[in-house]
Amino acid sequence: MSEATLVDSNVLLDIATNDPIWGDWSGRALADAFDGGAVVINQLVYAEVSVGFEHLELLDDILPASHFLRENLPWAAGFLAGKAFLAYRRRGGERRSPLPDFYIGAHAAVSGYRLLTRDRARYSTYFPTVRVIAPS
């Protein structure tokens, strides 16, 4: 059975920048995700990765729509992101507006996707139903 995977920007940036610490792990993990089913990104991931690129065409070359399923953030994910952010604030979190990570985690949660990231702690804490694929 194939399972879709939402990919966090940190994994894509590791690969795009050939990160000396995380590049190999991220490359293998992304290849495994492609072998396991659809690989999904949303506008937030796209925006975070875009920071490293001068032109839209260069970004689209490394995130081709033929390989990465581009999905809009579900409305229910916005609601869940807000609830997760509220829990974060109640635990002493200092940010005043929801971080993109909350929207990304909520997207994976409401869509039933696995989440490929290097940030296991935040996603596992605030989205315990999401199967997080992260370094040990």
CA atoms within 13 A on the CB side of 29: 24
- Number of neighbouring beta carbons within 10 Å of residue 79: 12
Please state the pTM of the whole predicted model: 0.93
The pLDDT profile of the chain, 136 residues, written as one tens digit per residue, is 579 999 999 999 999 999 999 999 999 999 999 999 999 999 999 999 999 899 999 999 999 999 999 999 999 999 999 999 999 999 998 887 778 999 999 999 999 999 999 999 999 999 999 999 999 8
- Bridge pairing between strands 114-116 and 68-70: unpaired
Element (H, E) at 134: none
